[in-house]
Amino acid sequence: MTHVPDASGPTAAPRSRFGAWVVGLGPGAIPLGVALLCLIGFGLPLVLVLANPGPADGGWPPTEAEVVKVTRLSADRTDPDTRRTRKVTEYVAVMRYTVDGVEYERSPGPSEWQYRVGDTLTVYYDGTNPEDIRTYPAGKGFVPWLLGGMGAGFVAIFGLIGLFLIRKGVSWPSSRLVRPSRPPIPTFDPYRPDVDSSVEDSGPPR
């Protein structure tokens, strides 16, 4: 009886070059994969944020505005470090400005800076929504630094772990890579009915 080797046995070759490469890397492939996911997960939002022009990038055009109304407000602010609450005075200034021949009267929001009616200053407006203005060329804030810092940290940590495991030559546990072969199918030998030919094959009967 001819024995046909089982393709699912321990000697089975990897089905693709990529699979063979991953198996060859050993367990270090797992943290390297996590590092790649972190690179994509943090890098893509960072690119989108940097690609979106803000006031500081020249994406928000400037225009001259005049303060036409000032409202004084009192508010309580809590210091996140000391947990102490203090009263602050803020001012809400309504500013009149013109964009493409259309006149607007909007406020950039409360500020501790005390404006006076009649003051003129440069404001920056959103080209897609001229009603949104800023009194200073604000950038994108801490978002790019946060995304870049977290992404670089995770990529460095998992990348170093993966490289360390690869350099140490850590291999996969054999019990997880080798699939058990199929059990032999019993066959009946008419010349030796008391012997299972799938277990023992010593040749023709004597």
Q: How far from chain centre, in Å, is Cα 119?
A: 45
Query: What confidence score (pLDDT) does residue 181 get?
Result: 61
Euclidean distance between CA atoms 195 and 189, whole angstroms: 7
Query: What confidence score (pLDDT) does residue 143 get?
Result: 66
Domains and CATH numbers, the chain: 1-52+142-206 (no CATH), 57-139 (2.40.50)
Q: How far from chain centre, in Å, is Cα 82?
A: 33
Residue ranges of the chain with per-residue pLDDT less than 50: 7-14, 177
Query: What confidence score (pLDDT) does residue 24 get?
Result: 72
pLDDT digits (tens, 9 = 90+) for 148-206: 888 888 889 988 998 888 888 877 776 554 555 666 666 656 666 565 555 555 555 55
What stretch of H or E contains 122?
Answer: strand 120-126
Query: What confidence score (pLDDT) does residue 32 get?
Result: 87
Predicted model pTM:
0.40
